[in-house]
Amino acid sequence: MDYKKAGVDIEAGYKSVELMKKHVKQTMRPEVLGGLGGFAGAFDLSGIKNMEEPVLLSGTDGCGTKVKLAFVMDKHDTIGIDAVAMCVNDIACSGGEPLFFLDYIACGKNYPEKIATIVSGVAQGCIQSECALVGGETAEHPGLMPVDEYDLAGFAVGVVDKKDIIDGSSIKEGDVLVGIASSGVHSNGFSLVRSVFDMSKESLDTYYDELQKTLGEALIEPTRIYVKALKNVKKAGVKVKGCSHITGGGFYENVPRMLPENAKAIIQKDSYPVPPIFGLIQKNGNIEEKMMYNTFNMGLGMVIALDEKDVKTAMKAIEEAGDACYVVGKIVNGEKGVELC
């Protein structure tokens, strides 16, 4: 008996690392010390000395049951983008710059080419968010997970000058809400999606005219990363007063998280285009509209609160980053919460 016969292939682990090195290399920043393969990722923080009061920010998350979609479609090159996005978007939401990222892949069996493909997506997400992939872990779990399945999670660290933290404390009546478009379902609500649609290859390969693509292509579209958009807003001299990353819990849970007491967000549902994938989910699942907005992003991955005088400048900066954005509502005095109308 040896480790390989017990289900863990150490040689496959070595091969995975070799195959992923070319992807990881693309994410390097000058602050990264050493290479891939050490016991810890090293990142030089001397650059933050220019900040008055540097504050470290962190975020950790996974892709939820969206990985099931990747299994059925046998498409593993974008799920890593989702893992990065879910972490770095939270850091950007607080006004921070993501510095580095680490991934964790648990699998039933280590297929080096598949693992390297997953990591290529992680690297792409890091490139999009300008953070370094400084390390990670691939763990084989024979007997715990099926050999053809895996789970993916990540952890990111960022930094922000204390004076630039976005905490919602200055939000007041008359402030304007700007929504930044999502790329689709992102990485939340897939347990409901999988209850609505048959997750077979035949079903996912079905072409829908309203989507102008197959169901699988629409659902697996990676989560949009908003780091560049929010950096552009900051470079334009605009202070974002509040920011909400629309993830699990949709509008009703996430928008209030950025609000101070006695501030209410009013969002106009017809102020922006809702991607057709959400209409298809609602129709096929016979889902109440409120549940849709309580589960999915419904076409807005982020909602930010701005002083009215800054709206045009901010929107121009967001669009220059390649994101679509819309004026979607306003802040009024009232009980803390959100009203969709």
The answer to whether residue 276 scores a pLDDT higher than 70 is yes
pLDDT value at residue 43: 86
Any residues with CB less than 8 A from the CB of 228 and at least 6 apart, and which? Answer: 128, 129, 130, 321, 322
Q: Give the pLDDT confidence of 160-218 residue by residue, as tens digits.
A: 999 999 999 999 999 999 999 999 999 999 999 999 999 999 999 999 999 999 999 99
Picking from 43-47, 146-150, 213-217, 288-292, which range would have the lowest pLDDT averaged per residue?
43-47
List, for residues 71-126, the tens digit of each pLDDT value: 999 999 999 999 999 999 999 999 999 999 999 999 999 999 999 999 999 999 99
269-306 b/e with 16+ CB inside 10 Å = b?
Answer: eeebebbbbbebbbeeeebeeeebbbbbbbbbbbbbbb
Show the tokens assigned to 80. 């890593």
Q: What is the pLDDT confidence band of residue 7, given thresholds at 50, 70 and 90?
A: low
Alpha-carbon gap, residue 66 to 224, rounded angstroms? 15
Q: Which residues contact 198 (CB under 8 A, 6 or more apart)?
A: none
| Amino acid residing at 341 | C
Residue-by-residue DSSP string for 76-101: -SSHHHHHHHHHHHHHHHTT-EEEEE
Domains in the chain, ordered, with CATH? 3-164 (3.30.1330.10), 175-340 (3.90.650.10)
What distance in Å separates the CA atoms of residue 161 and residue 149, rounded to the nearest whole number? Answer: 41
50-63 pLDDT, tens digit per residue, is 899 999 999 999 99
Q: Using DSSP bridges, classify how beta strands 150-161 and 97-107 pair: parallel, antiparallel or unpaired.
A: antiparallel
Q: In the chain, which ranges are continuous DSSP H helix? A: 10-25, 66-73, 79-93, 112-129, 190-196, 201-204, 215-220, 227-235, 250-254, 276-285, 289-293, 311-320
CA–CA separation, 17 vs 159, rounded Å?
Answer: 28
pLDDT in tens, 219-254: 999 999 999 999 999 999 999 999 999 999 999 999
Distance, CA of 191 to CA of 188 (rounded, Å): 8
Pull the structure tokens for residue 318: 């967001």
Phi, psi of 151 (to 5 degrees): -130, 150
Q: Which of 291, 266, 277, 318 is nearest to 183 (CA)?
A: 277
**Residue 32 Cα to chain centre, angstroms:** 23
* Coil/strand/helix, residue 333: strand
pLDDT value of residue 2: 47
The two tokens of residue 212 are 């102008």
Question: CB burial class (10 A; 0-12, 13-18, 19+) of residue 263?
Answer: buried
